[in-house]
Structure 1
Amino acid sequence: MEDSLFLYQLTLRRPSHTSNVVVGQFTPNKKVQELIFANGTNIEMYRPNQSSGKLHKICQQDTWGEVQGLDIYRLSGSSEDLLVVTSDSGKLTFLKFDIVHSLFYPVLSEPHSKTGFRRTTPGDYLAIDPQNRAIMISAIERNKLVYKVSSSDQSSLIQVSAPLEANSRKHITFGLIALDTGFENPIFASIECNYGIYENSSKDVDAELLLVYYEFDQALNHIVRRKSKVSIPGTSSKLIAVPNSAGGGVMICSESMLTYEAKDGDRKYIQIPRRNGESTSAQILSFVVHKMKKKKFFILLQSNLGDLFKLTFQYNEEEESMESINLTYFDTIPVCHSLSILKAGFLLANVANSNKLYYQFENLGEDVDDSTSRETDEISEVISRYEVRKDENLANLSLVDSIETLNPIIGSTLIDSTKQIVTLSSNSYLKTLTHGLPTSIVVSSPLPMHPTSIYTSKLESDSKNDDYLVLSSTLSSTTLVLSIGEVVEEVSDSHFIANQPTISVQQIGKSSIIQIYPNGIRHVNSKSKETTDWYPPAGISITSASSNNEQVIVALSNREICYFEVDPTDNQLIEYQDRLEMSGGIITSVALSANKQLDSVKCSFAVVGCADSTISVISLQPHNCLEIITLQALSSNCTSMIILSGSELHIGMENGLYARSRIDSRTGNLSDTRTRYLGNKPVELSTIKLSDAGNGSGDEESITGVLAISSKSWIGYNYHNNFKLTPLLNVNINSGASFFSEDIGGDAIVAINKQDELVIFTLGDGESNVSMDEDFSISSMKLRYTPKRMVREEEAGSDQILYVIGSQLGVESNIPATRLEVGKTIESEIEVEDIDPTPTPGCWSSCLQIVDVFEQKVIQSIEFSTNERALAVAIVMFSDSNKSLVIGTSAEGKYYLYVFKLAKSLHFLHKTEVDFPPNVLLGFQGKLLVGMSNYLRLYDLGQRQLLRKASTLIDQMKNIVSISLQGKDGRLVVGDIASSVSFVKFDVLENKFFPFADDILRRQITTISKLDYNTVVGGDKLGNVFVSRVTSSLSKRVDEDWSVMKYQPSYLNGSASRFQNICEYHLGDIPTSFVNGCLNIGGVDSIIYTGLQGSLGLLLPFATKQEIDFFTKLQFELREFFDYNFDEINIKGGDSNILSRDHKKFRSYYNPARNVVDGDLIERFVGIPQAIKVKISNKLDGSPQEVERKIAELRNRSAF
């Protein structure tokens, strides 16, 4: 088909907006609690490290559905919690954690409604009885369901009864909790509003809110609904269940006040304290109830200003009366969606629109002080005051860790020269995403020589630390041996050959070490310092070598291979009697596998690389030692090789390619070869060890990996059955080796940098351990306000300069507006580190900031007037060849366009008032194109203001939000907030824009971007992405017969023609930007998208018809496997469909999915059971290894 296009969707970073957080114990370890995050369409588990307190990700699973409610449930007699989930799947789901596979799997999925979101579908609210007897789920309007929950004595499986309905017509629910009633009947409480009495009223009225109780009578299996005697304030938003040890009851949070209603209906009132000097009232947004030993507890609440308050109760159990309730200021942290407290004394702050923060309690604060507000029987006007403490001045909390988030992403751009993605994300931050692992340099020292290679070694096999650091130089034919301890110093009694370059250093046997150099091998006993030498034949030298604790193999300049084994009695080397002569030319590299740690089984194979671009696998087994088993050709000469885990061969080549193959442990055959381009220099490899504390147990696990050095430095490692190859950031080295020392905290890398300095560095930023599952390193730069739009220079050398406009509602800046004088250069302001704007309801603050991404600094800032909001920004090349920066603003009902001349500093020209909000600005044929309301207007640069040159009303549109320039002939694609997109062309003769093709669907457009002259990609606010294309015949007629086409009559209140929708797909996140490019060196361009909730992904076009057929069939088979109707999906072990959601229906949420393959589903092929892999692969006429290789190659084509 002429207009066919197939895309491969792949998520590189999943949404980070967390709607729900729960704390539970999901593993048998009673001392450890885990945190579960519900991030839109995925759930994550984090576990605190017991020694450092840092948070480490344990698992992340896609749900193929939107998680609405999250809570924990514990079976009677069990020590582990189950995860209870409500979602758009229309099911109540119970999940159990499988510690073997580190995944959740469903133990029960109880259907109750149709899939999708409706205001009458239960699931928006979830409440579980504290005694685990009943669960209530509620819809926003009318419907509520109550489940009685129990467990079978025989199987210990959870069982739920048929749901009991508790419906209320024309009632809207604003909150739901389960009360702590002890062993009495379970009771649920909700905030409701009966809108039926107001829906026919023509006047504005304040709706009355009701506190409604639902009692589940277990004996009668019946729900009793009763209202509180007195209505609650109209500003009530939260309910808090008071523990039964304090008499039970419920706390109602409303504006400026807390209301406590006891079981008998009596009420007490507590005023929320205010900040000194503040007159605005506070509203409680989040809370957490923390229970301690001996029936003690406290409640931590947070207001809309971020202030934390500690709520304590004094209850007399003998008299069953409440003696006092105290509310005391605690500390101030960023405003949160939710708070969670762990038993170990940590607080997780699920911060709104910024990084999640993890605090440790330094103390629990005073129950009573000057800021304390006490309960009264009547509403009191007396309000307590307090001084704010935040950031480094916190009195009760200290920041331990943070989880990097990107939500909300407003826009993004790709800096192609560095492959960095710059996002407008979080609250007042510009975040730069770089593929790679951050590094932290521990030691940097100059050297007295110019080394070319570096090695580390122990002196004894049972030694934990590395003892020797060996530097070698082929330029000066020298070797320098250094000792590693508290200080690094030269070793005088190493007995190494110092006037020869070293090829390899290896600890062998129990207490010996060998030095391999061009003229021989020196064996040194570490204890007695006795030396033994082996020399090659006269005139022959050693060119390369490889070794492990029991075996040594060397390559000679006469193309012979010599093989040695270590005598276990005296640790001496014993040479094998025969030698192997290679026919492929000079030997360039050899490789042996390191010994297995659990036994002393020797390596069965060695690999030899020759100058004819081949590698040979030779046997080291007794019956056929030094016999060539396999020969394989390469695309270039092999420069370096290592073997990991006994079966993974890693190859570095002269042309900058890196290859990884699998060696069959029995036959020695090579298979499953995968390649990657690393740089324009030969690739050198070495074995390293990496520390991973991701298990959270406090004991860091060591991961064996490979260090690959080309024009950049990379590390490769296996993580959760996936091999990752990731560049190292902030280091530029020529040679490196693994290094372990307890003095620097464990595993590190010692290397020689480009300046011939000795550097020791660790992975991570120095403040926290690196997470091995993260592909991006994120650097954040603070801006004044929440960034809204940005534009950057396109010229090489200036593409790192960004012009960012930011605006924020509800704050008043304490920085005066920048003085703009017509025709004068704007003086640079000193950037304020912390502006600390004053909270002012209804007030806007806005500014322009010029940012250098590489330097991570703000070059210049321009503050706009109070209540002036920046809307759009663009760089425009006007017809006089002057490059100008244009900014559209809105100020108290008036709208302006500011024009600045771009130079070293901005030069203000003038501002022009316009009729409508300038939502979109774009340079167009030497003029400024403005999309405002449903108008397209052209402006040219005048002396005193912008001059309107054209204005076109687009009838079928409501409010233009995005414009894409398709070609130089005046063709545009215009996106509307309600009417999808239209192809438009500018007619020079009539000075007017004519729409000539519309969409067949109504879409709420968020962003669009050009793919080619006839094609556009777009996203809407429902989370869909689509690709639309004008047919080639229509495009040709528009180009050749425009004088006729522009007068075609309108069709169905739109343009005369309709374009084709060739791709449809539901992302599960609202697209906010599209960028064309790739994220790796020499990759294929794809569509890189960002989502509002913090997601980042790509849409990669398939290259061949065979690829389309293969991955379409693979997707079909995986859908069949994950189909929740099949019994095998519920079997414990391996990946599963945790919400029992139909994958195809999810990806076709609003429109049927078309011509897009779900790469996230495809990559789950790796985690399914081996038997299923074989079954699916046979249907695809291949093996599991071939399928996995094709999946990896497709991913590496544009990403990593």
Structure 2
Amino acid sequence: MHLYHLSLQQPTSIVCAVQGCFSGISKQQEICVARGSVLQLLVCDSRSGKVTVRCSQDCFGILRSLLAFKLTGGTKDYIVVGSDSGRFIVLEYNPTKNSFDRVHQETYGKTGCRRIVPGEYLAADPKGRAVLVGAVERQKLVYIMNRDAQANLTISSPLEAHRSYSICYAVIGLDVGFENPTFACLEVEYEDADQDPTGETAKNVQQSLTFYELDLGLNHVVRKYSEPLQERGNHLIPVPGGSDGPSGVIVCCENVIVYKNLGDQPDIRVMIPRRQNDLEHENRPLMVIASASHKTKSIYFFLIQIENGDLFKVTLDTEGDIVTDMHLKYFDTVSPANSMCILKTGFLFVAAEFGNHQLYQIARLGSDDAEADFSSRSSKPGLYNCRDLYNLVLVDTVDSLDPLTQTVIADLAGEDAPQIYALCGQGGRSTLRVLRNGLEVSEMAISELPGNPQNVWTVRRTVDDTYHSYIVVSFANATLVLAIQESIEEVPDSGFLGTAPTIGCGLIGDDSLLQVYPGGLRHIKSDRRINEWKAPSRRHIVNCAINRRQVIIALSGGEIVYFELDMTNQLREFSERRELPADVLCMSVSDIPEGELRSRFLTVGLSDRTVRVISLDPADCLSPLSMQAVVQLQ
């Protein structure tokens, strides 16, 4: 018997993406993406500009990396998958069955995402002769790719390229034409730092760029060359070689990108420009998070992206095989990406780190705009102004809920099936979305938020309202109330205290609203009168539980205060309070049962890992009824 664990809703985030000709159709490129445990093949229609899913297959594991490679003279790309299986897996897309077929599977390590088990990094020789699979620490394995008599793909036994006491940051395959396959790695050796208990050696350890060469004649891997770097790098970009370019590698470091190559080639350094008047991140190091390369018979260029989403076009000036200058030019601004792919059909696919993924049409190559050109001749970082899209045109988006920061489940639409109201995204690209069971995800309304929200609630104005009227969004030091109408707009006279965060809110009574904030309670009546209860001096509210007639708050220090709505629609405080032995982390009270005046039980979770049930019955109000200790599993 085999038990499969399948999610009803597939992951929407994209961990990594690669482009290639996976179906074997000439001049057609597809995109293969990894979504958690799901491997998908996306197709971009060159006429309509729409992205469709051609194949989706669950791999029952954690997909960590993807790599596309093509054998010399081949017409079809294969897919190498790095996962937590401890296996080297080569897949081939089968158009007839519309599935990914396993071509090879070789076990080399233990299962799980371990730092010394390869699978985190994948790199291939551009001619498809070898593939390197690397771990975060120490281990690297190289497989030689070849064909048998029937032209089927074959692989060799793994060749070790291990390096003790070394941590790897990035690996790529250099384009060296038909010379021995060479791989470039960003490494840090920590042997001396590991033996220094003071930690001083670790502060001064240098990162190095190391080249590993696969000797096809002797069938082994050698550490050919290693060079220390002045700055810490995090990303490598291979430069076309052979008859297409000068070969070498672009090392993306903090605030600078450096072109390096073996031989007589001097280093070419370009400072990454900064946004003009960017006071918020004035002293923050600039780091490249993603890149994409485009090569034709006549030109090649690179797009790099820094953390704020800005894209730069990188080009090289050459004299023979020697690079004389490197140019950096602001291109456009898109969402920060986990991966970017430039298709031969003129599209740029951005697998966004947060929010929806985008497909752009490259309308211009950035050579005819008025942007400044930054080169290696300048010793100081330049400045540029961020602008709207100019070189790119957005043609399609792929929905993504990642990251989902807050949800509320309610039947606001009156469909007899609750909807999920979710806050998604990060920063200025955050969105409020409405999810329905059995239907596609659709955006009902979008409202730009001034910051990162911490909580969100929806409330009715009166008990007879069919739909919720307000969305209450709480920030770290403020509260924003939005009205749900044809458009979502801020309500300036809601009665809520806007200068403090909201801990809880809801409808109390028939037509009153209640706001709980750290300094007290705010009872907002339908005629706009407001009654306030202030927290004691040097105490503040840390948690609350609310239903239509009862309010329970927890003060700092573990004290519980109970309020109940009387017949005159006034909140009355219970005369006694309850001191608990630890701080309150969470609390909950159920809705009032039909025919009752109040809910009889309160559940409280404390920092001493206990859950307590407290009575709300007038006869023994706030008396403890039960306690359950929760054991933390190691």
Give the shorter-chain TM-score range: 0.7 to 0.9
- Specify every segment of 5 or more residues in structure 2 that has no aligned partner in the other structure, as ranges: 564-569, 592-598
Compared CA separation, residues 909 and 931, structure 1 to 2 (3 A): closer
Distance 1:779-1:186 versus aligned 2 partners, 3 A rule: farther
Equivalence map 1:702-1101=2 (5 Å): 775-784=440-449, 785-793=451-459, 795=463, 797=465, 799-805=467-473, 807=475, 847-852=478-483, 855-860=486-491, 870=501, 872-875=503-506, 883-887=513-517, 896-897=518-519, 899-903=521-525, 909=532, 912=535, 920-923=543-546, 926-930=550-554, 936-939=558-561, 949-954=577-582, 960=585, 962-965=586-589, 968-972=599-603, 974=605, 982-986=610-614, 996-999=627-630, 1002=633
Q: Is the 8 A contact 1:76 1:151 kept in 2?
A: no
CA distance in 1 between counterparts of 2:149 and 2:84 reads 32
Q: Show the counterpart of 1:256.
A: 255
Q: 1:881 to 1:354 in 2, by over 3 A?
A: closer
Pick one of 121, 143, 147 that aligns with 2:143. Answer: 147
Query: After the TM superposition, which residues 1120-1199 of structure 1 pair with which residues of structure 2 at under 5 Å, given as runs?
Result: none
Q: Matched residues in 2 for 1:113 and 1:203: separation?
A: 32
Q: Deviations over 1:826-863 (max 9, x none)?
A: xxxxxxxxxxxxxxxxxxx7643334556451342789
Partner of 1:708: none
Deviation at 1:374, TM superposition (A): 0.7
Give the equivalent residue in structure 2 for 1:90.
86
8 A Cα contact 2:71 2:127, kept in partner: no
Match of 1:1125 in 2: none
- Give SS of 1:36's match: strand
Q: Distance in 1 between matches of 2:444 and 2:49?
A: 23
- Counterpart CA distance in 2 for 1:928 and 1:158 is 68
Question: What does residue range 80-159 of structure 1 map to in structure 2 within 5 Å?
Answer: 80-154=76-150, 156-159=151-154
User: Residue 331 of structure 1: CA displacement?
Assistant: 1.3
Give the conservation status (yes or no) of the 8 Å contact 1:252–1:258: yes
Deviations 1:139-177 (A, max 9, x none): 2222222212222222x3322222122223332222222
Number of positions where the alignment pairs a residue of Structure 1 with one of Structure 2: 590
Tell me if the contact between 1:241 and 1:248 (Cα under 8 Å) persists in the aligned partners: yes
Contact 2:512–2:525 under 8 Å retained in 1: no
Paired residues of 1:239 and 1:253 also in contact (CA < 8 A):
yes
Contact 1:82 1:94 in 2 (8 A): yes
Contact 2:42–2:52 (Cα < 8 Å) also in 1: yes
Displacement of 1:223 after TM fit? 2.0
Measured against aligned partners, the alpha-carbon deviations of 1:35-90 in whole angstroms (never above 9, x if no partner) come to 12211121222211232121122122222111001111223443221221111122
Q: How many angstroms apart in 1 are the aligned matches of 2:529 and 2:332?
A: 42
CA shift for structure 1 position 195: 3.3
**Deviation at 1:897?**
4.2
SS at match of 1:246: coil
Question: Residues 948 and 369 (structure 1 numbering): CA distance in 2 closer, same or farther, change over 3 Å?
Answer: farther
- Highest CA radius of gyration, 1 or 2? 1
SS of structure 2 residue aligned to 1:198: helix
Q: Within 5 Å, give how 1:476-487 maps onto structure 2.
A: none
Q: CA deviation at 1:877?
A: 5.1
Tell me the SS of whatever aligns to 2:317.
Answer: strand
Alpha-carbon separation, structure 2, partners of 1:998 and 1:77 = 66
Q: 1:923 to 1:162 in 2, by over 3 A?
A: same
Which structure 2 residues correspond to residues 453-532 of structure 1 after superposition, within 5 A? none
Q: Is this contact kept in 2: 1:326–1:367, CA < 8 A?
A: no
Alignment of 1:520-559 (within 5 A): none
Secondary structure in 1 matching 2:75: coil
| Deviation for aligned residue 1:255 | 2.2
Write the distance in 2 (CA, Å) between the matches of 1:802 and 1:993.
36
Name the structure 1 match of 2:286: 282
Amino acid at match of 1:305: N
Structure 1 length-normalised TM: 0.45
Shift of 1:206: 5.0
Q: 1:900 to 1:991 in 2, by over 3 A?
A: closer
1:709-759: CA deviations, max 9, x gaps?
A: xxxxxxxxxxxxxxxxxxxxxxxxxxxxxxxxxxxxxxxxxxxxxxxxxxx
Q: Secondary structure at the match of 1:174?
A: strand
Instruction: Give the secondary structure class of the aligned counterpart of 1:782.
Output: coil
Unaligned runs of 5+ in 1: 1-6, 437-773, 808-844, 888-895, 1004-1200
| Equivalent residue in structure 1 for 2:238, among 235, 238, 241 | 241
State the structure with bigger RCO (CA 8 A, min sep 6), 1 or 2. Answer: 1
Cα deviations by residue, 1:891-934 (Å, 9 ceiling, x for unpaired): xxxxx4464334567959477599899775423893433497xx
Aligned to 2:314: 311
Provide the C-alpha distance between the structure 1 equivalents of 2:346 and 2:154, rounded to a whole number of angstroms.
Answer: 34
Paired residue secondary structure (1:123): coil
2:434 corresponding residue in structure 1:
432
Q: Work out whether residues 311 and 331 of structure 2, in 8 Å CA contact, stay in contact via their aligned partners in 1.
A: yes
Mapping of residues 381-396 of structure 1, within 5 Å? 381-390=379-388, 394-396=389-391
Q: Offset of 1:225 from its aligned partner? A: 2.3
CA contact 2:268–2:324 (8 Å) conserved in 1: no
Q: State the distance in 2 between where 1:142 and 1:974 align.
A: 45
Contact 1:66 1:88 in 2 (8 A): yes
CA–CA distance in 1 between the matches of 2:254 and 2:606? Answer: 41
1:114 partner amino acid: K
Instruction: Give RMSD over aligned pairs.
Output: 3.7
Q: Tell me the distance in 2 between the aligned counterparts of 1:913 and 1:217.
A: 77
Structure 1 residues 882 and 431, CA gap change in structure 2 (3 angstroms): closer
Distance 2:61 2:235 in 1: 26
- In structure 2, the residue matched to 1:298 is 301
8 A Cα contact 2:207 2:228, kept in partner: no
Check the 8 A contact 2:433/2:442 in 1, yes or no. no
Distance in structure 2 (CA, Å) of the matches to 1:948 and 1:184: 84
Q: Percent identity?
A: 26
TM-score by length of 2: 0.83
8 Å Cα contact 1:786/1:806 also seen in 2? no
More helix by share: 1
Q: Shift of residue 383 of structure 1?
A: 2.4
- Structure 1 residue 293, shift from structure 2 partner: 2.0
**Aligned-pair CA distance for 1:345:** 0.5
Q: Is the 8 A contact 2:147 2:153 kept in 1?
A: yes
Kindly tell me: are residues 993 and 227 of structure 1, through their superposed partners in 2, closer, same or farther at Cα, counting changes over 3 Å? Answer: farther
Alpha-carbon distance in structure 1 between the residues aligned to 2:199 and 2:539: 31
CA deviation digits over 1:941-976, x for unaligned, max 9? 799x99994342349xxx94x545469443526387
Equivalent in the alignment of 2:566: none
1:777 CA drift (Å): 3.1
Is 1:178 matched with 2:173?
Answer: yes
Q: 1:462-515: CA deviations, max 9, x gaps? A: xxxxxxxxxxxxxxxxxxxxxxxxxxxxxxxxxxxxxxxxxxxxxxxxxxxxxx
Q: Residue 220 of structure 1 aligns with which residue? A: 218
